[in-house]
Chains A and B, each alone.
Chain A
Amino acid sequence: MSIKEIIRQFKPEHHNLLNIMHALQNSNPGNYLTKEALEETASYLGLTKASVYGVATYYTMFSLEPRGRYIIRVCISPVCEIIKAETIIKHLEKVLGIKTGQTSSDRLFTLELSECLGQCHKAPSMMINDRVHNCLDKNSIEEIIEEYRQMSKSD
């Protein structure tokens, strides 16, 4: 679907802005909101550019920069921290060969941090796109990343 088609699934009402942005971002292979997407959204909803931009930059789930195909969000809440999220992040950085905030050179993964994902009973946790991965340790991380790598090849 084109940007316009995605936007037109929603009524042209201001309160649909966040839902529209989610839909646009999810449909973008780089998992981000393009300038064109923001402009189209603004014009469809009758908003100014800044009102749309201000919203896009406020919420942490939205990105205005191209990201990888899979967004990894590692939980850094107090619980995950107690259960050693730090080592998880370091290990992910090592496995992916990138620092937190970066995107891997094959554009498959972007490594981000997240506030509490509400998975505290199975800490440490992370999300990759829509899926939650719990009770992480070094081994499971490697397996999970490998799984996504394979998945990307089979698509």
Chain B
Amino acid sequence: MIKEERILLKNAGKINPLSINDYTKAGGYRGLKKALAMEPVEVIDELLEAGLRGRGGAGFSTGMKQRFTSESCLRCPQRYVVVNADEGEPGTYKDRIIMEQDPHLYLEGTIIAAHAIRSSQGYIYIRGEYQDSIEKTRKAVEDAYKKGFLGKNIMGSGFDFDLEIKLGAGSYLCGEELTMLESLEGKRGTPRIKPPFPAEKGVFGMPTLVNNVETLANATRILEKGKQWYRQTGTDTSPGTKIFTISGQVNKAGYYELPLGVSLRELIELAGGMRNGKPFKAALLGGAAGTFVDSSMLDEEMSYDNLKKKGATLGSGAVIVLAGEDSIARTLINCLRFFKHESCGKCIPCRVGTAQLLISARQLNDTARDKKKLLGEMIRDSGLMAATSLCPLGQSPILPLKSAARYFEDELCGLEN
């Protein structure tokens, strides 16, 4: 059986998350010290060469993102760092674990990123429901100020950086980076047109780096231990570890930090196997905006690129396991209900589509309907939605829908049982 490799979560459960001294004793803020001794561009190069990819779901190169942000609009009076701590993808709680168990880890990464792009103001946008994360982060920020890791002349380097916490208030869509910026500015969570990307025009119209909590935690480690060390874990194109959150029908649901490239079977084994020995039926990878897979995918390497090739997604690292007795339709309907609830309503395809798909999905239970035709129409509609929607939300329903149909068409159409 594979073993966890706790690079990010090395302190989790071992130190007092409310104590900055515990963190520094465990080696904390060494990465920042190293970074501050480097030129900003060297920090970016380090991350680039480490091959770090964003852990929010899209898997874009973090170094590239930082480079774009640091190089855009040189005349702009300010550039911002925004930490995306609006974790809302169903089945996902990796960022929460970091925030609750080792908040300085991502705080340190945030300050490093600020130095890299020469930003003097940052925001952490945390989901309003994550009370514990909010409290722990508040304390961490307070202590970091006291110890001189935030504020003026950080660690005597001459670098200034202020950080403020912003609360979400119940909107999944605000996890999308451009929508988050709207929300951060105190507005309704509706997506902006892309381009411009945040790197060009982000919060308050200024160049903005938006990074996920887990990504920033990785950055801390890379600066602390170096890119070579970092690259020893994971695959070539997806180096490092990933915190997987596995839940549903397994015995030991929980979070597991593993090198990218682990297989689903290995992960389930690590999670104590199927709950009460039930047969594996399906896994929903990446949450609601993710894909169903069946047992044929159990041994596939879970890395960004391989899963993409197989028509699946790694997304946020959520793995929701369904057993033989569980209804695919029910979970699918839950996903579609979720999208309808979270659609902001700005663009027509998503606003109406999320409502219409849910109606159709519920009709899958209706014996009078030609279900195969209905399912076909739903896939067509969700495809048109994906093609025409303004932001990723409208592009999401097709993911669970199409993958569910691919593996479980007969069940969805009531041809089984």
- Touch between chains A and B, by CB atoms below 8 Å: yes
Query: Which A residues are within 8 Å of any B CB, using their own CB?
Result: 13-19, 21-22, 45, 51, 54-55, 58-62, 73, 76-79, 81-83, 114-123, 127, 130-132
Q: Which of B129, B186, B334 contacts A61 (CB 8 A)?
A: B129
Residues of chain B within 8 A (CB-CB) of A58 are: 171, 188-189, 344
Flag if A120 contacts B169 (CB, 8 Å): no
B128, B132, B172, B338, most chain A CB atoms within 10 A: B128
Q: Which of B166, B188, B204, B338 contacts A55 (CB 8 A)?
A: B188
In whole Å, how far is A52's beta carbon from the nearest beta carbon of chain B? 9
- Taking the complex as formed, is B342 at the interface, i.e. its CB lies under 8 A from any CB of chain A? yes
Flag if B90 contacts A78 (CB, 8 Å): yes
Q: Which of A62, A116, A122 contacts B89 (CB 8 A)?
A: A116
Residues of chain B within 8 A (CB-CB) of A59 are: 128, 168-171, 189
Q: Which of B92, B131, B185 contacts A116 (CB 8 A)?
A: B92
A14, A51, A82, most chain B CB atoms within 10 A: A82
Known A-B contacts A19-B167, A58-B189, A115-B90; the reply to A82 vs B326 at CB < 8 A is yes
Q: Which of B166, B167, B169 contacts A60 (CB 8 A)?
A: B169
Q: Which residue from chain B places its CB closest to the CB of A131 in the assembled complex?
A: B131
Residues of chain A within 8 A (CB-CB) of B93 are: 118-121
Write 20 A-B pairs (CB below 8 A) sorted by A numbering: A13-B186, A14-B185, A15-B166, A16-B186, A18-B128, A19-B166, A22-B169, A59-B128, A61-B129, A62-B170, A73-B129, A77-B334, A78-B335, A79-B90, A79-B91, A81-B331, A82-B249, A115-B342, A116-B89, A121-B93
Flag if B169 contacts A79 (CB, 8 Å): no
Known: A22-B167, A61-B169, A131-B131. 11 other contacts (CB 8 A): A15-B185, A59-B189, A60-B170, A61-B128, A78-B90, A79-B247, A116-B88, A118-B92, A119-B93, A120-B247, A127-B131
Quick one: which of B63-79 are within 8 Å of A by CB? none
Flag if A81 contacts B330 (CB, 8 Å): yes
- Taking the complex as formed, is B183 at the interface, i.e. its CB lies under 8 A from any CB of chain A? yes
Residues of chain A within 8 A (CB-CB) of B128 are: 18, 22, 59, 61
Flag if B170 contacts A132 (CB, 8 Å): no
Q: How far is the CA of A121 from the CA of B170 in the complex (A)?
A: 21
Flag if B320 contacts A78 (CB, 8 Å): yes
In whole Å, how far is A57's beta carbon from the nearest beta carbon of chain B? 9
Q: Which residue from chain B places its CB closest to the CB of A73 in the assembled complex?
A: B129
Q: Which residue from chain B places its CB closest to the CB of A76 in the assembled complex?
A: B334
The interface on chain B, measured as residues whose beta carbon lies within 8 A of the other chain's beta carbons, has a size of: 52
Known A-B contacts A14-B186, A15-B186, A17-B186; the reply to A116 vs B170 at CB < 8 A is no
In whole Å, how far is A129's beta carbon from the nearest beta carbon of chain B? 8
Flag if B131 contacts A130 (CB, 8 Å): yes
In whole Å, how far is B39's beta carbon from the nearest beta carbon of chain A? 31
- Taking the complex as formed, is B44 at the interface, i.e. its CB lies under 8 A from any CB of chain A? no
- Taking the complex as formed, is B102 at the interface, i.e. its CB lies under 8 A from any CB of chain A? no
- Taking the complex as formed, is B350 at the interface, i.e. its CB lies under 8 A from any CB of chain A? no
Flag if B91 contacts A116 (CB, 8 Å): yes
Quick one: which of B176-226 are within 8 Å of A by CB? 183-189, 204
Flag if B171 contacts A60 (CB, 8 Å): yes
Q: How far is the CA of A58 from the CA of B287 in the complex (A)?
A: 23
Q: How far is the CA of A118 from the CA of B88 in the complex (A)?
A: 7
Q: How far is the CA of A22 from the CA of B284 in the complex (A)?
A: 34
Q: Which of B91, B129, B132, B169 contacts A21 (CB 8 A)?
A: B169
Q: Which residue from chain A places its CB closest to the CB of B331 in the assembled complex?
A: A78
Flag if B172 contacts A115 (CB, 8 Å): yes
Residues of chain A within 8 A (CB-CB) of B83 are: none
Residue-wise, chain B 343-368 has the 8 Å CB interface mask toward A (1 for contact) of 01000000000000000000000000
Q: How far is the CA of A122 from the CA of B52 in the complex (A)?
A: 30
Flag if A115 contacts B186 (CB, 8 Å): no
Known A-B contacts A61-B170, A119-B93; the reply to A79 vs B248 at CB < 8 A is yes
Residues of chain A within 8 A (CB-CB) of B188 are: 54-55, 58
Residue-wise, chain B 122-147 has the 8 Å CB interface mask toward A (1 for contact) of 00000111111000000000000000
Known A-B contacts A18-B169, A78-B335; the reply to A121 vs B88 at CB < 8 A is no
